[in-house]
Structure 1
Amino acid sequence: MSQYPIELQAPDIRQWENGNTGVPYVWEFDSGQPGPTVMVQAVTHGNEICGAIAVDWFLSKKLLPEAGKLILSFGNVAAYARWNPGNPAANRYVDQDLNRVWGDDVLNSDEDSVELRRARELVRFVDQADYILDIHSMHEHCAPLMVCGTDGKGADKAVSISRRMGVPEYLMYDTGHPAGLRMIERGAFADPASPKTAILVECGQHWEKLAGDVAKDTLMRFLVQTGTLSLATAQPHFYPNLDYSGRQRVIAVTEAVVAESEKFSFVKPFTGLEVLAKKGEPIAINGDKTVTAPYDNTVLVMPSVAKQWRIGTTMVRLGRLIND
């Protein structure tokens, strides 16, 4: 069983399987009015059910875009179908992490997996989008985070839209993943010269009620900021207690700690956003190495204790709070 109570019910999304695009579980709605193409993806990881809750809720409300086009996608549906409340951490993926396969070198390779086949179905929607929101959650209890891409590669665009949305409290400049390219880093989304913008929200602990609320709130605020929905339409669905307008904080990640051995363990049960006051404080044992804080006031971001990980998996990010 999970160390955390399961407060969310994973929705039955099979009613959305047929879609209307020729690709299972992908829906596209055209307002007929000028505007951007906006994509929202849920369950990039099969055990992160808050995104499924938000997109299922949106589709059930029969809300439609008021400008541009809206694409709604359930990502790793094969992994999601394996959801088991008795073992809720076991279905992150089937063969490999769907959020590490978005480089052309991987998508166009001869490699094969459940996740690669799904990414190859989804990539045409990703590439036509002007804005993307990818909805995720975290294994440990931690305040919601917005992952704003890699610093210097389009992340300023993501921070800007997140500030306009007013959610969540913490915005993160990331370093990417050595194990592979994420969807939000694909193509023009990582190009500072392009207006295309992609963000990834970590809504809180996977199965806490808050994560479902954050997912729905973030979805609606995102659709307002992209011009897809009017404020009048979306605002009744906001969660005012989640609004951090003017109070958001930015974390600049300086490095990612990657598992170099099957024997990786943290020195204590970190959950995320802990601040280690002194350079050199121990963080984890990575094979025969001790990982330590690289500088004073090191912030630990999203330490991973998930059951599904491999050598090469990012286990924790280390960063600094930016005073702005």
Structure 2
Amino acid sequence: HVAVTAVVHGNEPCGAIALDWLFKHDVRPQQGKLSLAFINTAAYHAFDASDPNASRWVDEDFNRLWSAQVLEDGKRKLTVELARAREIRPWLDSVDLLLDIHSMQHKTEPLTIAGPLAKGRDLARAVGTPAVAVSDRGHDEGVRMRDYAGFADERSTRNALLVECGQHWELPAADIALDTTLAFLAATGAVPQEFAATHRPLPAPEAMRFYEVSGPVTVETDNFRFASDWRGFEHLPQGSLIGHDGEREIRAPHPTTVLIMPSERLWPGKTAVRLAQPIN
């Protein structure tokens, strides 16, 4: 069972555009089952071009709910996102291979989030695009859908990727979403290689680059500020000042520290930035 998911966040339309293309071309699996899923539809339908960031979610971040502890907590406040997560959970339990399509706040290089395990990096390598793959354990705030259950268990054959296709509303993000989707469907055997090669809108990267995140920088105070207007993929020498969280300095921990997806949502509990280093 291969699945491609879009609009986990309501302000990220590139995945919906990619799935729309697949529906219009009547794409069917050559083996097994293929699901094309629109996830946080309530947030997506709330999109307002005059305030495009407001529809990222309705009540809370859908992509921080994916632990059994959260999903099964009967005392937790029932939000739009939690209700939807519980609704689709039985379906997600049946998915063997997942591609979850996202986009980013800043205009920066597209990347795949492969999770912390070797199997995630192997799947990213098999898909072969985008050129950058990031290995990380996620966020302190909560578990992503990409890391749900067997996807993050090295003993399981289930596997998942999250692709960040560029800035939310730039047109090329839609091409990256479709290109990655077709490459994923071919790599998983859902569609013939020839079909994907014929319709992919972008050339395949000549080589991939892998980065490993040592940990997210989680905001602890109401006074977090970056030392510069970081956009993402800045390469900083060890010791470089990245920002302040209250009085605490945040400095580059690695000989070459790469900033992954610095955020504009700098309130307590959120991830401000991920600190990575190149790996083979």
- 1:44–1:74 Cα contact (<8 Å) kept: yes
Q: Within 5 Å, give how 1:202-217 maps onto structure 2.
A: 202-217=164-179
| Equivalent residues in 2 for 1:293-304, closer than 5 Å | 293-304=252-263
Task: Map 1:14-93 to 2 at 5 A.
Answer: 37-93=1-57
Q: Which residue of 2 aligns with 1:118?
A: 84
Pick from 192, 213, 237: which aligns with 2:154? 192
Instruction: Give the partner amino acid of 1:262.
Output: D
Amino acid at match of 1:317: R
Paired residue for 1:250?
A: 210
User: CA deviation digits over 1:283-322, x for unaligned, max 9?
Assistant: 122122221111321110000114xx64211110001011
* Identity over aligned pairs, percent: 41
DSSP 3-state at the match of 1:91: helix
Equivalent residue number for residue 230 of structure 2: 270
Distance 1:262 1:256 in 2: 17
Equivalent AA in structure 2 for residue 226 of structure 1: T
Residue 274 (structure 2) aligned to one of 317, 321, 324: 317
Q: What is the TM-score when the length of structure 2 is the normalising length?
A: 0.96
Cα distance in structure 1, aligned partners of 2:267 and 2:226: 16
What do the CA deviations read for 1:197-232 (whole angstroms, capped 9, x no partner)? 100000111111111001001111111111111112
Larger deviation, residues 290-299 vs 92-101: 290-299
Q: In structure 2, which of residues 93, 109, 112 is the aligned counterpart of residue 127 of structure 1?
A: 93
User: How many residue pairs align between the two structures?
Assistant: 278
Name the residue aligned to 1:108: 72
Whichever residue aligns with residue 117 of structure 1, its letter is A
Segments of 4+ in structure 1 off by > 6 A?
none
Equivalent residue, structure 2, for 1:286 = 245
Given that residues 71 and 125 in structure 1 are in contact (C-alpha distance below 8 angstroms), is that contact kept between their aligned partners in structure 2? no
Deviation at 1:177, TM superposition (A): 0.9
Across the aligned residues of Structure 1 and Structure 2, the Cα RMSD in angstroms comes to 1.3
Identify unmatched segments of 5+ residues in structure 1.
1-36
Equivalent in the alignment of 2:221: 261
Contact 1:142 1:272 in 2 (8 A): yes
Gaps of at least 5 residues in structure 2 are: none
Q: Could you give the per-residue CA deviations for residues 23-70 of structure 1, whole angstroms, max 9, x where no partner exists? A: xxxxxxxxxxxxxx0111101111111111111221122211111001
- Quote the Cα distance in structure 1 between the aligned partners of 2:59 and 2:11: 14
TM-score by length of 1: 0.83
CA distance in 1, matches of 2:45, 2:247: 38
Q: Distance in 1 between matches of 2:256 and 2:192?
A: 41
